[in-house]
Copies of this chain bind each other. A is one copy, B any other.
Amino acid sequence: MVAGKSEARVSIKDIARAAGVSHSTVSRALGEGMLVNPATRERIKSVALEMGYTPDAAARSLVTGRSRTIGVVVATIADPFVAEVVQGVETTAHDHGYTVVLSGSGSEPVREIAAVEMLRSKRVDGLIVTASRIGALYLDHVERLGVPVVLINNHNEQSGHYTYTVTVDNHHGGLLAMDHLLEKGHRRIAYVTGPADHSSDMERLGAYRQALEARGQTWEADLVVGGDGWPDGGRRALETLMARTQPPTAVFCYNDMTAIGLLRAAHEMAIRVPGAMAVVGFDDISLAAYVDPPLTTIAQPKFEMGQLAMGMLLNLMQTDASMTARLSDQVVQGRLVVRDST
């Protein structure tokens, strides 16, 4: 508690007074590339340190027009996949002097709009969005922020000048999963979907169909059942599947959460995995290795995707907005991780 707990905020002017210079000299001395007498610069710096000075971001932002802040919009941070991506974003942001404003939407349009309005008010320099469904209406709202936007695992249906994407190659990943199952000899394979209208779900489903057709099989509508991206959806999906006249011997799930719920339901219904039913997920969330049996899945480089998204955003933010040399959307590859569920 000793000293240092000065009640009053110390400003650049206070330092100027204490160092016997003008406040603009202080500003220059504390800045990077500006020309100041090395001697006075050192003096000013030490005075600043002594007085416990911290620049006021708001004041700086007001004049520079840049906040060194980015917004991150997620459906819910309680989704393990999202959390890992955000960690990648946050780490990279901090390494480059950017601050992250987190905004959960719960997928509710109202909250999403409110969140964007708040970010607009905060004058964020960029935006990273991983909310599950990016409606056209919402994207329009986002575009009006006038700042670069990077979407993670979402298709950029409407190609604005400002929005870019980082996505896992869902088609490739889906093929990896299906080929693995097919190679294991499975012929009746089901697919459990994710949340409706999510582009990554549609692509994974597309790969599912294509893999089947490539083997001369036709996909049966009966074997594609709806999930929601959460364990309960997987549990219900299995119940539906087992009620079919001819249940599948394997199931490819939209994501690990779905697969994990399905695994548990299988256990309760005394369906041996992988003996009676093989299951593969998508994401490779950290707990996938700890369920029983450990889950075979398509690993997404989550942390790296966050880093990549933030890296793109950094580029977009420093690039002169007029220089519209369109960066290319980034696609990363998933990796098949074989564990014991197949």
**A residues lining the B interface (CB < 8 Å):** 1, 4-5, 7, 52, 54-59, 61-62, 67, 69, 72, 76-78, 80, 83-84, 86-87, 90-91, 94, 99-104, 106, 111, 114-115, 117-118, 120-123, 140, 143-144, 146, 160, 231, 260-261, 263-264, 267, 286-287, 289-292, 294
Contact = CB atoms under 8 A, between A and B. Distances in A.
Given A4-B144, A118-B94, A290-B264, A100 B99 contact: no
Given A77-B77, A146-B5, A55 B121 contact: yes
A78 B87 contact: yes
B87 A104 contact: yes
A91 B74 CA distance: 12
Given A56-B121, A291-B292, A292-B292, A7 B146 contact: yes
Contacts of A144: 4-5, 52
A78 B330 CA distance: 23
A123 B56 contact: yes
A273 to B, nearest CB: 10
Contact of A91 (B104, B118, B121): B104
B103 A77 contact: no
27 contacts: A1-B140, A1-B143, A5-B146, A52-B144, A54-B120, A56-B62, A56-B121, A57-B58, A57-B121, A58-B59, A58-B62, A58-B67, A62-B62, A69-B101, A69-B122, A72-B102, A78-B87, A87-B104, A90-B102, A90-B103, A90-B104, A94-B114, A231-B287, A261-B290, A264-B294, A267-B292, A291-B291
B80 A76 contact: no
A122 B83 contact: no
A94 B101 CA distance: 12
Given A69-B122, A77-B87, A87-B104, 18 more contacts: A1-B160, A5-B146, A56-B62, A57-B121, A58-B123, A78-B83, A80-B83, A91-B106, A94-B115, A99-B101, A99-B122, A102-B102, A231-B289, A260-B287, A267-B292, A290-B291, A291-B291, A291-B292
A87 B80 contact: no
A291 B288 CA distance: 10
A150 to B, nearest CB: 17
Given A84-B78, A290-B261, A101 B104 contact: no
Name, among A101, A117, A143, the residue most crowded by chain B CB atoms within 10 Å (CB to CB).
A101
A61 to B, nearest CB: 4
A289 B291 CA distance: 10
A77 B86 contact: yes
A69 B290 CA distance: 38
Contacts of A160: 1
A291 B140 CA distance: 42
Contacts of A286: 78, 231
Nearest to A264: B290
A90 B290 CA distance: 29
A90 B77 contact: yes
Contact of A101 (B1, B62, B100, B117): B100
